[in-house]
Amino acid sequence: MKRTVLVTRPEPGLGETMRAVAAMGFTPLATPMLRIVPLKPALPARVQAVLFTSGQAVGPLADQAPLLLGATVLSVGDATAERARDAGFTRVASARGDAKALASLAARRLDPAAGSLLLACGRGQGGELVEGLRSRGFRVLKRCVYQAVAARALDETVLARLRSGRVEAVLFFSGETAVAFERAVPPDLSLDGVRALAISAKAASRLSEGCWRSVSFAETPDAAALLALLQQ
């Protein structure tokens, strides 16, 4: 029986997911497809609130701008909110959804006249959220505090497990990891016996359906819903 599950997310988060997959009776295999490189943009000293679309942005911002730890924080989901609290942010709320849910939360909780919002995100991300917030009258300062660098190849352990037909599924926590994984798969290696499980419809749309046994995405964009797909 195929029981190996490849986990493509980087740290922080990789170890946590590995433990959860193991607790479900599968054999997790770390296959991080992105390397997180902190960036050092110019940051404001004061803002009305800080917004996080990814937990990867929390650490770099907390390290570079400790004066912002007392600011209101709105996060895209519960896991990112928990990471923000662990980093020292004290006033944290979760949108429990996607970028649209985060924009809606900001519209309910914040006043456009009360000051700027800081969106801390990865390079190349956050455009949809900025547009949504500005359409509601907010002034948004977008700062890229990290860059995700894609892995170019799969290691030999992962390739051997795939070639042996022992991989049940691959977990994708972003569209970037999905694209990076498919690009790293050698042309002679078939994935038609492997399930692709994505955290959202948007991430799943970056996968090539014809290459996989099936492509599925979580009902809600969070780790718990993604892991639930493994049992289906």
Show contacts of 12-19: CB within 8 Å, 24+ apart: 12/55, 12/56, 12/59, 12/83, 13/55, 13/79, 13/173, 13/223, 16/223, 17/171, 17/173, 17/223, 17/227
- Report the predicted TM-score, pTM, of the whole model to 2 decimal places: 0.82
149-192 tens-digit pLDDT:
999 999 999 999 999 999 999 999 999 999 999 999 999 999 99
On whether the CB atoms of residues 184 and 154 are closer than 8 A, the answer is yes
Q: pLDDT-based confidence at 221, cuts 50/70/90? A: confident
> What's the mean pLDDT in 196-220?
94
Helix count and strand count (H, E) for the chain: 9, 11
Sequence-distant (6+) residues with CB within 8 A of 86 are none
Domain boundaries, the chain: 4-33+151-231, 36-148
Matching CATH topology for 4-33+151-231 and 36-148?
yes
Sign for the pseudo-dihedral over CA of 111, 117, 120, 125: positive
CATH 3.40.50.10090 fits 36-148, yes or no: yes
Q: Tell me the β-bridge partners of 147.
A: 37
User: Strand 167-172 vs strand 4-7: parallel, antiparallel, or unpaired?
Assistant: parallel
Q: In angstroms, rounded to a whole number, what is the distance separating the alpha carbons of residues 232 and 227?
A: 10
Q: Is 187 helix (H, G, I), strand (E, B) or coil?
A: coil
Amino acid at 227: L
> What's the mean pLDDT in 55-66?
94
Sign for the pseudo-dihedral over CA of 52, 55, 60, 65: positive
CATH 3.40.50.10090 fits 4-33+151-231, yes or no: yes
Q: In angstroms, rounded to a whole number, what is the distance separating the alpha carbons of residues 98 and 76?
A: 6
CA 219 to chain CA centroid, Å, is: 15
Element (H, E) at 216: strand 214-217
Element (H, E) at 30: strand 27-30
8-58 tens-digit pLDDT:
999 888 999 999 999 999 999 999 999 999 999 999 989 999 999 999 999
Nearest by Cα to 54 from 117, 109, 98, 110: 98
